[in-house]
Structure 1
Amino acid sequence: MPTTQKKDIAWVNTLKGGCILLVVLYHVVLPGYANMVPHLTAGELPARLWLIINNTLSPLRMPAFFFVSGMLAANAIFNRPWKQVFTSRVTNLFYLYFLWGVIQWLMIYGVSQGMMGEHLSDNINAAWADSPRQFVTLMLLAMSSSWYLYALALFFVFARLFRHQKPLILLVALGLNYAAVTGVIPGWGPESLSQYFIFFLFGSFYSDILIRWSEWRRANLLPWALLLVLTLAHSLLGLEQSLFLCVLAILVSIAGCRWLNQTFSMRWINWVGKNTLQIYVLHRIFIEFFGMSAILFAVGHQLFASKAFSLLWALGFPPVMMALCVGCSVAVWTLLNRGWGQSLFIYPKLLRMKFDS
């Protein structure tokens, strides 16, 4: 592959790496860090800034993740027979979703809460289910920390089935997106599936157009201006996470990641972008352990009464906890991803095929 092509492809991993770091940061800040802000005796401003940053990045974080995922799935959607792709693109994702759903439930509800007596969040989540029946119900509703894997499998199936009826499936996805952002769909799991399906389709069907729009050319002024006007119009209507704002965020992120790779060495974040799965499925467990431990220790020793500690917490907790959880996720994956331990990260049939080859 020519060097120019490699550099052009590199932005994809940069964007994936940035998105997974933003996902980890989101889970670090909400709810554990956010719940401690009222207890701070100093550093309220930087704490509020972290919350604002987390909220401001919402139109980018998951829309860009699904756009890239759809783009990478496009070849399998259009050019490969079902027999070749069903196991790798559907069965594998469902397997990982339910496997890690069980592992997270056992580790967070069974171990962490058992040791500490409570957990970080009161949100409805399969990881904190009170019974196996509730766990299965929440998993089927995509109300799990690993819901992204579930969404990818479902999105791939529908994109594949309706790949020759693009206007129809896009119209359905558009309706689902508006239903989600206006609060019509109950439950954060179904709401998330409905909101982000269209970005997977954008990546699968129209990635070439959006990538071209992301380039700094005079010909792109019209689509950018139109997107900006529609974004402002939706904002006036109270739709802060509108479809058009998310598309603008995707275009900016593509342009930014391309520029970063042309200007700097992005080797480390590109490596993260190639290894998002293990970080995604493991980080929530470490956030629960480390975050709950840190909060209980700080509260138990009345450390928030100290202005110096409060300021340090406000400034440093999010980036330090994010780095710690990402590092531990990679370390555990390195230890486990050996021999049949790889079956924790890939469907066993695919693993056997890998060994046979």
Structure 2
Amino acid sequence: MPAVTVSRQRVDWADSAKGLSIIGVCLMHVVTGVDGGTLTAWGHFSTLLDPLRMPLFFLVSGLFSHRVITRDLTDLWYRRLWFLLVPYLIYTPVQAAIRLDFMEELTASNLIKAIIVGDPGLWFLYTLMLYNIAAVLLRHQPPWLALLISTVPLFVGCMSGAVMEQGYRQAMMYAPIFFAGLHYRQVIFTVAAKASHVKVVVSAFVVFALWELIYRGLEFYYFQGWDEKIAGETSILALVRTFTAVPLGIIIAVWISHTPVLSTFVNFVGRNTLPIYVSHHAALTFTNTVIVPWMAEQTPGMAEALASPHVSILLGLATCVVSGAVFYFVGKTPILKWTLFPPALPRRRTHSASMVKIQG
């Protein structure tokens, strides 16, 4: 019985971590899409979540990808890549088309390029596929070496200027924390198990706070503008930030998982991140460009209220809830659910396996 309890606690806090992450992602997209949104209390809260949302996502993804390193690329394709590739290929063209149209760069060639190289809209799925492939290729290396190698693409990007591109920067930034989750599971579970220990909590908070002071101080006083040098320097600082923030993120996730009511909501969200992830960005664009102008036109008295950043943010958050709910039910609907959760591919049985079955 104790073993079962520990296992459940681990899943619970991991769900809390994913829930906190996707809520943070939605909040970021909402406040940055509203004039003056980043200056509100919502915007300040979103800023606090900056060092946590994506690192926690990738940490948990690595944490529960440990079986990947026991497989070859063929097995990886059938067991994991296929299930990531299908929703990516179905929903990325939509998201990429919206982004390119907004930038007035929507052409067939640009759309195809966005899908092939990983559009910023659904980059998490694309990047996760890359990480899983890298994990299999490095599976025979010692954990410390695999983790070290995972930092190489980011450093190469810093030296070459490739981190100027958002897609490259995002894709390479979180590989180390994924590999940390993949290879150092026991360390992570130990931190989670000690989330109520005062020394551990204080230490995690101090590390988080000190690096945030350094990071934000340099960001405010030192980095001015944007060029290859600044992009490279901020990338390295952000990499350190990922590891200084994650311990506190784990502790917060554990606390959430033990908080009645809050845990029920956050964990449910954490278990259903994909429907929210693929839908909310496009839904926000539709709300801001179609629904809000229509509401203002139909009811002129609402125009002033809709211009308030607080009202716009609440409307944006409601949009995320609605789109997530709609796609949650899409994921439960026959045939349509395959766009999110495709059925497993049939695997060819090897000749030896067939012979064993015949002889049996």
Q: Is the 8 A contact 1:90 1:153 kept in 2?
A: yes
Structure 1 residue 89: deviation in Å? 1.3
Quick one: distance in 1 between partners of 2:148 and 2:334? 45
* Equivalent residue for 1:284, pick from 254, 275, 281: 281
| Distance across 1 between alignment mates of 2:188 and 2:331 | 38
Q: Which has the higher contact order (CA 8 A, sep 6+)?
A: 1
Aligned equivalent of 2:151, options 170, 174, 178:
174
Q: What's the RMSD between the two structures over aligned residues?
A: 3.5
Equivalent residue in structure 2 for 1:330, among 319, 325, 328: 325
Q: Which amino acid aligns with 2:50?
A: S
Give the aligned partner of residue 203 of structure 1: 181
Distance 1:179 1:280 in 2: 29
In structure 1, what is the equivalent of residue 239 of structure 2?
243
What letter corresponds to residue 259 of structure 1 in structure 2? Answer: W
**Any conservation in 2 of the 1:19–1:64 contact (CA below 8 Å)?**
yes
Corresponding residue SS for 2:51:
helix
Contact kept in structure 2, 1:151 and 1:193, CA below 8 Å = yes
Spell out, residue by residue over 1:71-119, the C-alpha distance to the aligned partner (whole angstroms, 9 max, x if none). 1111x2233454443223113212221121124456x47xxx9xxxxx7
Deviation at 1:344, TM superposition (A): 0.8
Rounded Cα–Cα distance in structure 1 between residues aligned with 2:189 and 2:8: 16
Of 47-56 and 88-97, deviating more is: 47-56
Q: Which residue matches 2:63? A: 71
Note the 1:119-268 alignment, pairs <5 A.
121-122=102-103, 130-165=106-141, 166-177=143-154, 184-213=162-191, 215=194, 216=197, 218=199, 238=219, 239=234, 242-265=238-261, 266-268=263-265
CA, structure 1 residues 72+323, in 2 after alignment: closer, same or farther (shift >3 Å)?
farther
Gaps of 5+ in 1: 38-43, 114-118, 123-127
> 2:88 matched to which residue of 1?
97
Q: Which whole-Å CA distance do the structure 1 matches of 2:253 and 2:203 have between them? A: 22
Q: Give, as a single letter, the amino acid of the residue that structure 1 aligns with 2:55.
A: P
| Cα 1:333–1:219 shift into 2, 3 Å | closer
In structure 2, what is the Cα distance between the partners aligned to 1:90 and 1:56? 33
Deviations 1:291-344 (A, max 9, x none): 2224434776777984x654xx32233244223323233224414632222221
TM-score (norm 1): 0.76
Deviates more, 1:10-19 or 1:262-271: 262-271
TM-score, normalised via structure 2 length: 0.76
Deviations 1:207-233 (A, max 9, x none): 321342453364787787677666666
Letter in structure 1 aligned against 2:61: S
Q: Which runs of 5+ in 2 are unaligned?
A: 220-233, 349-360
Match of 2:10 among 5, 8, 14: 8
Quickly say closer, same or farther: Cα 1:268–1:351, change in 2 above 3 A.
farther
Match of 1:263, SS?
coil
Show the 5 A alignment for 1:289-300: 289-297=286-294
The equivalences for 1:39-50 within 5 A come to: 47-50=39-42
Aligned residue for 2:247, secondary structure, equals helix
In structure 1, C-alpha distance between the alignment counterparts of 2:201 and 2:23, rounded to whole Å:
30
Counterpart for residue 40 of structure 1: none
| 1:208–1:235 distance in 2 versus 1, CA, 3 Å | farther
How far residue 67 of structure 1 moved from its aligned partner, in angstroms, is 0.7
CA distance in 1, matches of 2:258, 2:281: 33
Q: Deviations over 1:128-177 (max 9, x none)?
A: 75122111112222224111101111100001111232444433432444
User: Given residue 244 of structure 1, which amino acid in structure 2 is its aligned partner?
Assistant: V
- Aligned amino acid, residue 22 of structure 1: G
* Contact 1:181-1:195 at 8 Å conserved across structures: no
Distance 1:51 1:219, change over 3 A: closer
| Residue equivalent to 1:347 | 342
**Does the CA contact (< 8 Å) of 2:292 and 2:306 recur in 1?**
no
Q: Structure 1 CA distance, aligned partners of 2:212 and 2:240?
A: 5
Identity, % of aligned positions:
23
Of 46, 70, 77, which residue of structure 2 is paired with 1:54? 46
Q: Distance in 1 between matches of 2:92 and 2:137?
A: 27
More displaced stretch, 85-94 vs 331-340: 331-340
1:85 to 48, 68, 76: 76
Count of paired positions: 324
Rounded to whole Å, the distance in 2 between the matches of 1:325 and 1:221 is: 34
In the alignment, the residues of structure 2 paired with residue 330 and residue 317 of structure 1 have an alpha-carbon distance, to the nearest angstrom, of 20
